[in-house]
């Protein structure tokens, strides 16, 4: 019996990159007992929802899932399936490594950063009031009274909850990740100079957690300075931990530094469950064309193998991806050299699978 893993194929380019990823992971020789399920816009007619309960039940059973991207339908009243999965399963940590791959066009080389983003709190908690609702008026009135500050009458209101619990668990996660992967430094990113009580609390908790990991260097940076530092001296940084909004923005910045969405993997991890997914979306314009780059989801598969503690297989798959991209013979359109023929999604995955088979376990 292999590891039970839920495979959510997603929609748009999802089913193609999901199949490619299955091909590449199977080639490592790690036995996976795939439970294939569907979610997204293609199942809405059948189930009346893009996220049928049996999909969540499958993840609750297998504990580990890998998912293709899912479209967020605009104007239908359905919330994002991706956000809903994270909420339902309390996947509080969003892990987004950004590592340069030779052969991928980018202004930067030798980038090796890990973004750890808090996934459940902050301005993403979904507590918002429109400018013209009675609730908005009430929120403005109470907040004005409580803070003694004037709020314009035509203001919408958003709430930014940052808790000790949420901050502690994400910073602990960052240090444990640093420990497990032999990383030297954790940097907490914040704007505590302005948001003294919310980001201030995050920073206070981060400093406290850092005391339990004396072997790992700790420092903090204000988020705007952090952006500049990443452009100028990225080699000074290692693991970066931050609240939700800064994490969302900085992880895309770092994805850009390694060549873009096609090669940027991710993971959503909680105390009980883990769901691995690429940063990119469902790219509907490429759906069904066997054109999309499968690298980001395959590298999310590398993170999944690490999570399953199949370290040797994970590093072999990573090397296979890097070697196929460096060679440039079997790569999708976005990675191909000018005047060379790109291959399709599945062909690139098969080249990676074949390379994986030729690498010796110790290489
Ligand atoms: P997107 O990432 O789907 O696509 C943006 C562009 O990036 C594409 O047009 C394409 O040029 C390129 N691209 C993305 N992935 C690629 C790949 N694997 N290979 C080659 N090129 C690739 O972003 P979007 O257009 O803003 O979003 C489309 C849909 O996906 C939206 O409904 C959005 O809500 C959803 N989305 C889902 C997730 C997720 O499932 N976690 C994440 C982001 C966006």
8-54 tens-digit pLDDT: 999 999 999 999 999 999 999 999 999 999 999 999 999 999 999 99
d(CA 244, ligand 1 centre) in Å = 20
Whether residue 135 is predicted with pLDDT greater than 90 in this model: the reply is yes
Whether residue 339 is predicted with pLDDT greater than 90 in this model: the reply is no
Whether residue 82 is predicted with pLDDT greater than 80 in this model: the reply is yes
Rounded Cα gap, residues 255 and 293, in angstroms: 15
3-state secondary structure of 266: coil
Q: What is the pLDDT of residue 137?
A: 97
Q: What is the distance, to the nearest Å, from the Cα of residue 86 to the centroid of all Cα atoms in its chain?
A: 11
Q: What is the pLDDT of residue 172?
A: 98
Q: Is 224 a catalytic residue?
A: yes
> Choosing from 33, 57, 208, 224, which is the catalytic residue?
224
185: how many CB neighbours lie within 10 A of its CB?
A: 14
3-state secondary structure of 267: strand
Q: Going by CA atoms, what residue is nearest to atom 8 of ligand 1?
A: 283
CA atoms within 13 A on the CB side of 118: 31
Whether residue 363 is predicted with pLDDT greater than 70 in this model: the reply is no
d(CA 259, ligand 1 centre) in Å = 15
d(CA 99, ligand 1 centre) in Å = 20
Which residues' Cβ are closer than 6 Å to ligand 1?
13, 17, 69-72, 82, 261-262, 277, 280-283, 285, 292-293, 296, 334
Q: Is 191 a catalytic residue?
A: yes
Q: What is the pLDDT of residue 302?
A: 98
Atom of ligand 1 nearest to the CA of 13: 18
Query: Quick one: which of 104, 107, 110 has its CA closest to 321?
Result: 104
Sign, Cα dihedral of 157, 163, 169, 170: positive
In the CATH scheme, what is the code of domain 1-99+260-363? 3.40.718.10
Structure tokens given for 97: 């490594």
Indicate the domain borders of the chain: 1-99+260-363
Whether residue 58 is predicted with pLDDT greater than 70 in this model: the reply is yes
Q: What is the pLDDT of residue 257?
A: 97
pLDDT per residue as tens digits for the range 109-119:
999 999 999 99
Query: Quick one: which of 295, 272, 232 has its CA closest to 24?
Result: 295
d(CA 284, ligand 1 centre) in Å = 8
Q: What is the pLDDT of residue 83?
A: 86
Give the residue, 75 or 291, on which the prediction is more confident.
291
Sign, Cα dihedral of 72, 254, 120, 16: positive
Most confident of 79-83, 92-96, 355-359: 92-96
Q: Residue 351 phi/psi, 5° resolution?
A: -65, -40
Q: Is the pTM of this model over 0.95?
A: no
Q: Is 238 a catalytic residue?
A: no
Q: Residue 273's pLDDT band (boundaries 50, 70, 90)?
A: very high
d(CA 281, ligand 1 centre) in Å = 3
Q: Is 3 a catalytic residue?
A: no
Q: Going by CA atoms, what residue is nearest to atom 38 of ligand 1?
A: 281
Q: Ligand 1: which of 44, 69, 74, 83 to mutate, judged by most atoms within 8 Å of the beta carbon?
A: 69
- In the β-sheet with 64-67, what is the strand arrangement from edge to edge? 32-37, 3-8, 64-67, 274-277, 267-269, 93-99, 112-118, 239-242, 185-190, 217-222
């Amino acid at each position: 019996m292999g590891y039970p893993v839920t495979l959510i194929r997603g929609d748009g380019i999802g089913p193609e990159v999901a199949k490619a990823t299955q091909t590449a992971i199977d080639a490592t020789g790690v036995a996976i007992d795939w439970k294939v399920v569907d979610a997204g816009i293609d199942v809405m007619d059948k189930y009346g929802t893009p996220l049928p309960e049996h999909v969540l039940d499958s993840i609750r059973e297998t504990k580990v899932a890998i998912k293709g991207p899912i479209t967020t339908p605009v104007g239908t009243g359905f919330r994002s399936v991706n956000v809903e999965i994270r909420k339902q399963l309390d996947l509080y940590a969003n892990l987004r490594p950004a590592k340069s791959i030779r052969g991928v066009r980018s202004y930067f080389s030798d980038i090796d950063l890990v973004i750890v983003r808090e996934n459940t709190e902050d301005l993403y908690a979904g507590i918002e009031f429109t400018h013209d609702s009675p609730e908005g008026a009430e929120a403005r009135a109470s907040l004005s009274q409580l803070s003694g500050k004037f709020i314009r009458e035509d203001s919408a209101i958003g709430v930014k909850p940052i808790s000790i619990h949420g901050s502690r668990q994400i910073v602990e996660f960052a240090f444990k990740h640093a420990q497990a992967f032999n990383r030297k430094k954790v940097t907490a990113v914040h704007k505590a100079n302005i948001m003294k009580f919310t980001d201030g609390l995050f920073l206070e908790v981060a400093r406290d957690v850092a005391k339990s990991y004396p072997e790992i260097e700790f420092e903090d940076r204000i988020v705007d300075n952090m952006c500049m530092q990443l452009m100028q001296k990225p080699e000074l940084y290692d693991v970066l931990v931050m609240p939700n909004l800064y994490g969302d923005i900085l992880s895309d910045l770092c994805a850009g530094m390694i060549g873009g969405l096609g090669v940027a993997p991710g993971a959503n991890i909680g105390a009980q469950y883990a769901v691995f997914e690429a940063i990119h979306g469902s790219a509907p314009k490429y759906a069904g064309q066997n054109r999309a780059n499968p690298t980001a989801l395959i590298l999310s598969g590398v993170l999944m193998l690490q999570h399953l503690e199949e370290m040797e297989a994970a590093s072999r798959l990573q090397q296979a991806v890097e070697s196929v991209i460096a060679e440039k013979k079997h790569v999708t359109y976005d990675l191909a050299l000018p005047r060379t023929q790109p291959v399709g999604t599945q062909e690139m995955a098969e080249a990676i699978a074949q390379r994986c088979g030729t690498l010796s376990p110790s290489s």
